[in-house]
Structure 1
Amino acid sequence: MILTSINLLAFGFASPALLGWLALAAVPVLIHWLFRRRYREVTWAAMQFLHAAARKQSRRTRLEQLLLLAARVLILAMIVFAFARPRWADAGKLARETPPTLRVIVFDVSLSLGRKLVREDANAAATFTGETMFEASKAIAREVVRKSPSGDRFALARIAGSEPRLLIRQPTLVASGVLDEIDRIPLTFERGDVAATLRQVPELIAAKQPHERCEVVVISDFQADNWSESETAFTAFADRASIVLIDVGLSLPDNAAVVGLTTAPPILAAEQPMSVTVTLRNAGTVPLTARRVELRIDEQLADSRRVDLPLGQDATVEFALAAPAAGEHTLSVRLEEDSLLADNERWLPLSVRSELSVLLVNGRPSARPRDAATFFVEQALSPKSADRAASSRWLRVTTVPDSELPNVELDRHDVVFVCDVGTLTELDVGRLRRFAENGGGVIASLGPTVSVERLNEVAFGSRGLMTLRLNEIVTSMNADGTPSVFGFDPGDFTHPLLREFRGNPGAGLEAALIRQYVRVVVNSNSIGHDVALRFSTGDPAIVTQPLGRGRCVLVTTSLDETWGEWAIWAAGFVPLIHELTEYAAAGRSQPREALVGEPIQRDIPSGSTTITLTTPDGVARILTPMDREGRSRLVINDTSRPGNYTLTSGTVERFAINVDSRESDPRRIDPREWAESRSGEPDHRIVVRRSDSPVPTARDDSEPVTNSLTLELLAAVLALLLVEQALAWRFTVGAVVAILSLVLAAIWTATRFF
């Protein structure tokens, strides 16, 4: 074998600060010096004959001790050298050696990554593979870790809609631990909040050591909606780290999704007709034809259709069917399978009623029924005549005097009419407020018994039922001082309360005769106020406002004949009372749904000790409510899976968690164009790579590849330990072991460097 060239080597340390520990090599020398053998001279004639022989032997003994001391010093020195991570490279390139890298891996786990990969076949239609973009992303992340040079440290973050977003906060050298953490990362059903994750990345970069460089590796499908507001977040660390963008997204994939599910009417009566409206969206690249849509109630197929979905448009499908039996049910709709399964199904809880319970609070009890403040409302809701009883057959009406209001269990009712009650206390208003916040409806009407000042103090304001203010009582008078009347001005009938009167101008609202009302001042800055009906003077006649899950309604005149004759003569009185009742009761029937990751809050009746939550995967958990402001409130934060959730606490309540429809949009940004748009020209600190060629680092290819000597030094330490033990036992044996070790080291050096 002829050596034609010899590589000249350059040498350096990745952690030179650790070389200070070389001072430990002096420990064996100190021990040898402090504990050297001491003796005193004693003149003895016989020793003179041995002196010459001992002098000759002592030279050999001293040499053996020095060699043993050198072995021990060398062991400690080589251990320090090993921890300092020495590296060698070709001569002349050491100055350009790349230092260790703090590599921050940002991993997208949003819903859109669950899209299946497509297998293209020139001779057949494209088919879905079993692998998703998320699984491909995990494989790339593992490859980035495995191919990173030894000595690099890793931190891990995820792009998700909820915390925790930082999975490995303290950078680690242990690649196997990072690989295990990547394997444990699950795909979420959330929308990816890219900006929120990137705003936390500087916290990881702050852990960079002075001798390290920093690199942020982002693995994502770069969905346009998620990345629309990410540019500002990148600027917070773009000057402190190089950025590698690895694109795993599909090119214009097809996707259809269920984006809406509603029912009508707002309050469902058992076994009565109902309609279901399903909204579908085709966000792909081609029109879709004959897609099967299934409607299910409690997982039982109720109806199905095949529909065509035009490109880039929403399509609605109407189902007409009978409502199920009274109770809590789950309505769901499923769309035929495509590349993204999670958005092909949507849920909606159904609360079907066998009856609607209405409580009438009479503020003017009287021995003569007609004089009671609730008389005409009760007649409208529970008529005695057979021709009008059919429309009210499912209403259960209970009337109590105002003195009994503190003793009534409001939660047993759906709507409470408070008619001309002048004795409302702060306790009464607090109970009515909680009743409305939990979904109940409160309808208050005025009259001669009420005190405007007292109601403003107790019932209205920031802590009352509605944030408005009552002014003076307005009485209709002619110019000559004779009594007159006001009428109603329904306007364009746009409010839901007036939907039954729309298109029927002669339905009776215009014929109402009102003599008195209370002028109301509605704060224009308050949110939620809505004037449903006005008087002919322009003043509000009916004002609505949401409160929690429920609704509050104020009628600024009386609902009897004390302040007008509309309860007697106006044909619109009875249908308006029914519309008021259904509108106020709709709070209890509002869809109990939220998006994945959003918390659910519920007020729990006092005394509920055992509360069970059953998740979509059938797991039941016992929950404990929290006491807040004198109420038991339950906060459910674990809504990470879409589907039907059931809450059991004496009664059964269902609510639905659905995916964010924005994740269904397959439109993506081009990461290369995005990188150039930041400065108007290519940014050399940002490297963009496709998923089929992920390079773990952004370092220049011209930079030298360095080699670590740490393992070799540790092997040498082990050999020296054997030599040291052999020397201490018998010097000749130790010498043989040392010579063999040197021969093996010479062979290894020849194969390594030549």
Structure 2
Amino acid sequence: MMLPLGFELLNPWMLGWLAAAAAPLLIHLWNRRRHVETYFAAMEFLLRAVEASRRRLRLEQWLLLAVRTGILVLAVLAAADPLWEGLAVVPARGQPTHRVLVVDASFSMGYRAGGKSRFQRAKEIAARIVDESPPGDGFTLVLMASPPRIVVATPARNPADFRKELDALELWHGKADLWRTLAAVEQVLLDARRDAPRLTAHEVYFLTDLARSDWAWASQDSASREAFLQRSRRVAELAHLVVIDLGQPDAFNAAVSELTVDQPAVLVGDPVQVRAEVRLYGPSASAQERSPSPPKPEGNGEATRLPDPSQLVERARRGLAVELVVDGRPVDKQAARLSPGGKANVAFAWRFDTPGDHVVEVRLEQDGLEIDNHRYVVLPVRRRLRVLCVDGRPSSDPFRSATGYLQAALAPRGPRAGRVEVEVIPDSRLRETSLAGYDCLFFADVARFTAAEARLLDGYLQTGGGVVFFLGPQVQADAYNRELAGAAGSLRVLPARLGPLVTRSDASARLNPLEYRHPILRVFEGHEAAGLLTTPVFRHYRLDVAPQGAANVVLATGEGEPLIVEESIQRGRVIVVSTAVDDPQWSAMPLWPSFVPLVQEMLQY
């Protein structure tokens, strides 16, 4: 039974005893009826004596009657066990209650304001909910993470044991999966209804910062959004839902959002470009001016002033310090100037003097959320690269074979001599060759591949290796498509299917670098004298690239036909060059000055 203003009676049936409050009045009326009035002379003087005090006596009698009646009313209300709500975290309930505490453990809950993280505040509020709950209530605990974790599945009746599980919760360094968390909550509620029927009331508390990345289901497609709403309604039918927002509307956060290294294969002494993207997340400056936020209460209600968000914004406008750290040692520093909602790109250059695995870190100066101020990458640095060339037309004369020009381009003479170790085998030895230990495979004019060879290449790609196919006059397009292009259940090794052979009517037409968007061609931007765009191509296979696929066109002909296509497959990368590398009737590519840098960029990529 609920009364206005949060007043509640745990034993409302006791109100029936309020009828006993009429007993004093009934006794009074009964005694009045029993008296018989008789007048005689001697009493007349007494009546005149008390006439002056009659009103006072009547008031005393009414007060005495009210006290007797009030005592009975108060006794009945005390037996009904009244409670006032609204001053505690947990409303008092008349029936035993099952409370599900869902603690958001996503990385944004690590944001610190007023000396405490949101995650710490969530645990403190959850502890208050437990402490202020009446005896006999049960508690279950769900950690909102990805995947979510049901920490306490069966309603716990011992608050001390439950507090130990709550105190042991740790922040999850990732996003939260709201969809699967709701599924876990729904299962916990259904299990509690079956296994703990004495707990007749159910409540679910979400302690979260309502991060947009975790809660923005309105931006999902209609089917996902409708499924989410249906699950939410089912949970709402099973329990009363409470969301406790621990976020700050004026919070700003600077983060290293991206870290890339241009060369996945790094050699000792090679210059390495480390690029980082830094962002400043938070409300826009205009929104901040329109809606200033007052200090939020923490702890027992006392006001604790949060750090002024304009301090981080002002520092970002002047320039946040971004450091390059190699193997735990700071080696360079730059400034990234940012405005709210903006981003900045920072580039570092570094050379490694020793081989081995090196840890590269880009570190941002401290703010409220420490976890996203760092990004790491481990770079394997080698003295040389091992390359296997598979020749589809082997010859004792290197420049009459299909791989002669490739060998010269992969291991040129000069300062870079000895940095690439090239081994050549005929295509007939591919099946008996172990591919472990090779950084990259180059195939030149190989006629066809068997199913066993396709499995060999698929396994090599799973280890992160790189494969480059140069086509040619011996290539059987149907065999390539059947064994390597994923047709009819076969393995997919090629980024594009091979179409018919194309003979260009104007071989001198310039090639199209597609604005040098791909990293392989970036080195040629602004250097047209290198000859890449004027490379004569007479024949090539048409490459059919799926419009919605992950393959990227690196270089195209002037007619728009893909000439070089690349895609990341498994853990490796595959490049297909649709023309020949050694046949002058197909292309003059190896005779052009752009050939050596083009092959070197393919190898580095």
Q: Residue 444 of structure 2 contacts residue 469 of structure 2 at CA under 8 Å; is this kept in 1?
A: yes
CA contact (8 A) 1:420 1:445 kept: yes
Give me the whole-angstrom Cα distance separating, in 2, the residues matched to 1:337 and 1:331: 19
Residues 1:542 and 2:564 aligned together: yes
Q: 1:348 aligns with which of 369, 374, 377?
A: 377
Q: What does residue range 410-449 of structure 1 map to in structure 2 within 5 Å?
A: 410-422=435-447, 424-449=449-474
Q: Judging changes above 3 Å, is the alpha-carbon distance between structure 1 residues 420 and 291 closer, same or farther for their aligned structure 2 residues? A: closer
1:517 corresponds to which letter in structure 2? H
- Quick check: 2:495–2:574 contact (8 Å CA) kept in 1? no
For 2:531 and 2:343, the matched residues in 1 are separated by 39
**Contact preservation (8 Å) 1:102, 1:212:** yes
Tell me what 2:365 maps to.
336
Counterpart-to-counterpart distance in 2, 1:383 and 1:107? 60
2:354 maps to: 325
Letter in structure 2 aligned against 1:497: I
When residues 275 and 205 of structure 1 are mapped into structure 2, their CA distance, relative to the original with a 3 A threshold, is: same
- Give distance in 1, aligned partners of 2:552 and 2:577: 12
CA distance in 1, matches of 2:113, 2:535: 66
1:222 aligns with 2:210: yes
Aligned CA distance change for structure 1 residues 309 and 146 (closer, same or farther; 3 Å): same
User: How many Å apart are 1:100 and its aligned residue?
Assistant: 1.6
Q: Which amino acid in the other structure matches residue 498 of structure 2? A: L
Structure 1 residue aligned with 2:97: 101
Q: What pairs with 1:468-483 in structure 2 (closer than 5 Å)?
A: 468-475=496-503
Amino acid at match of 1:434: G
Structure-2 separation of matches of 1:485 and 1:277: 38
In structure 2, the CA distance between the partners of 1:537 and 1:262, relative to structure 1 (3 Å rule), is closer
Q: 1:89 to 1:168 in 2, by over 3 A?
A: farther
Q: Which of 323, 327, 331 is the aligned partner of 1:298?
A: 327
Q: Which residue of 2 aligns with 1:77?
A: none
Deviation at 1:493, TM superposition (A): 3.9
CA 1:383–1:235: 2 relative to 1, 3 Å: same
Aligned letter for 1:512?
T
Q: CA offsets, 1:70-120, max 9 Å, x none?
A: xxxxxxxxxxxxxxxxxx9646789x98222122222222222323341xx
Q: Alpha-carbon deviation of 1:361?
A: 1.1
* Alpha-carbon contact 2:280-2:340 (below 8 Å) kept: yes
Cα displacement (A) at 1:565: 4.8
Give yes or no for contact 2:513–2:533 (8 Å, CA) kept in 1: no
* AA in 2 matched with 1:317: V
Shift, 1:281, TM fit: 2.9
What secondary structure is seen at the aligned counterpart in 2 of 1:436? helix
1:374 positional shift: 0.8
Deviations 1:339-377 (A, max 9, x none): 322222221112223222221111112233321111121
Alpha-carbon shift at residue 141 of structure 1 (Å): 1.4
- Asked if 2 retains the 8 angstrom alpha-carbon contact of 1:461 and 1:469, the reply is no
Shift in alpha-carbon separation, 1:452–1:245, aligned structure 2, 3 A: closer
- Aligned in 2, Cα 1:392/1:461: closer, same or farther, shift over 3 Å? farther
1:10 deviation in Å? 6.3
Structure 1 492/505 Cα, relative in aligned 2: closer, same or farther at 3 Å? farther
Residue 157 of structure 1 corresponds to 142
Aligned residues: 477
When normalised by structure 2's length, the TM-score is: 0.71
| SS of residue paired to 2:372 | coil
Listed one character per residue, the Cα deviations across residues 364-417 of structure 1 (whole Å, up to 9, x for unaligned) are 122333211111212222345xxxx33555222222222222233322221211
Identity of aligned residues (%): 31
Counterpart code for 1:200? A
Counterpart amino acid of 2:209?
Answer: D
Tell me the amino acid that sits aligned with residue 103 of structure 2. F
Q: Distance in 2 between matches of 1:242 and 1:568?
A: 73
After superposition, residues 17-96 of structure 1 pair within 5 angstroms as: 90=78
- The question of whether the paired residues in 1 share the 8 Å contact of 2:148 and 2:177 is answered with no
Give, as a single letter, the amino acid of the residue that structure 1 aligns with 2:536: L
Alignment of 1:575 with 2:592, yes or no, is: no
Once residues 307 and 536 of structure 1 are traced to their aligned partners in structure 2, the CA distance between those partners, rounded to angstroms, is 40
Q: Distance in 1 between matches of 2:134 and 2:329?
A: 56
Q: Report matched runs for 1:416-565 at 5 Å.
A: 416-422=441-447, 424-462=449-487, 463-466=491-494, 468-475=496-503, 485=507, 489-494=511-516, 495-525=518-548, 527-536=549-558, 538-561=560-583, 563-565=585-587
Preserved CA contact (<8 Å) 1:10 1:90: no
Which structure has more relative contact order (CA 8 Å, sep 6+)? It is 1
2:259 is paired with a residue whose SS is strand
Pick from 276, 282, 285 the counterpart of residue 278 of structure 1: 276
Q: Compared with structure 1, are the counterparts of its residues 255 and 513 closer, same or farther at alpha carbon in structure 2 (3 Å cutoff)?
A: closer
Task: Letter of the 1:378 partner, please give it.
Answer: Q
- Written as runs of structure 1 = structure 2, the 5 A alignment for 1:672-687 is none
Verify the 8 A CA contact 1:461 1:468 in the aligned structure 2. no
User: Structure 1 511/169 Cα, relative in aligned 2: closer, same or farther at 3 Å?
Assistant: same
Letter of the structure 2 residue corresponding to residue 460 of structure 1: A
Task: State the SS of the aligned residue for 2:155.
Answer: strand
Shift of 1:328: 0.6
DSSP 3-state at the match of 1:203: helix
Deviation at 1:566, TM superposition (A): 0.2
CA distance in structure 2 between the aligned counterparts of 1:391 and 1:490, rounded to whole angstroms: 29
Aligned to 1:141: 126
The correspondence of residues 661-740 of structure 1 with structure 2, limited to 5 A, is none
Unaligned 5+ runs, structure 2: 1-9, 15-75, 83-91, 219-227, 283-308
Alignment partner of 1:407: what SS?
A: coil
Distance change in 2, residues 1:174/1:395 (3 Å):
same
Distance 1:422 1:486, change over 3 A: farther
Could you tell me whether the CA contact under 8 Å between 2:541 and 2:578 is conserved in 1? yes
**With structure 1 as the length reference, what TM-score do the two structures score?**
0.58
Partners in 2 of 1:163 and 1:305 — Cα distance?
39
Give per-residue Cα distances to partners, 1:219-249, cap 9 Å, x unaligned. 2233343332388353332234223333333
How far apart, CA to CA, are the structure 1 residues paired with 2:532 and 2:274?
31
Letter in 2 for 1:225: S
* Inter-partner Cα distance in structure 2 for 1:469 and 1:297: 42
2:152 to 162, 168, 173: 168
Check the 8 A contact 1:160/1:191 in 2, yes or no. Answer: yes
Deviation at 1:450, TM superposition (A): 3.0
- Which digits, 9 at most, give the CA deviation of each residue in 1:524-544, with x for residues without a partner? 45x222333334554432222
Contact 1:517–1:556 (8 Å) recurs in 2: yes
Q: Distance in 2 between matches of 1:504 and 1:294?
A: 32
Letter in 2 for 1:498: L
Q: Which residue of 1 aligns with 2:246?
A: 248
Match of 1:395 in 2: 420
What SS class does the counterpart of residue 499 from structure 1 fall into? helix
> Offset at 1:210?
7.4
- d(CA) in 2 for partners of 1:229 and 1:419? 50
Q: Is the 8 A contact 2:579 2:587 kept in 1?
A: no
Aligned pairs for 1:124-139 within 5 A: 129=115, 131-139=116-124
CA distance in 1, matches of 2:513, 2:480: 28
The secondary structure found in structure 2 opposite 1:200 is: helix
* Contact 1:447/1:563, CA 8 A, preserved across alignment: no
User: What is the Cα deviation at residue 292 of structure 1?
Assistant: 4.0
| Distance in 2 between residues matched to 1:475 and 1:373, nearest whole Å | 20
Asked whether the equivalents of residues 154 and 178 of structure 1 are also in contact (C-alpha less than 8 Å), the reply is yes
Question: Aligned to 1:238, what secondary structure does the other structure show?
Answer: helix
* SS across alignment from 1:406: coil
In 2, Cα distance between equivalents of 1:270 and 1:455: 37
Q: Is 2:397 aligned against 1:368? A: yes
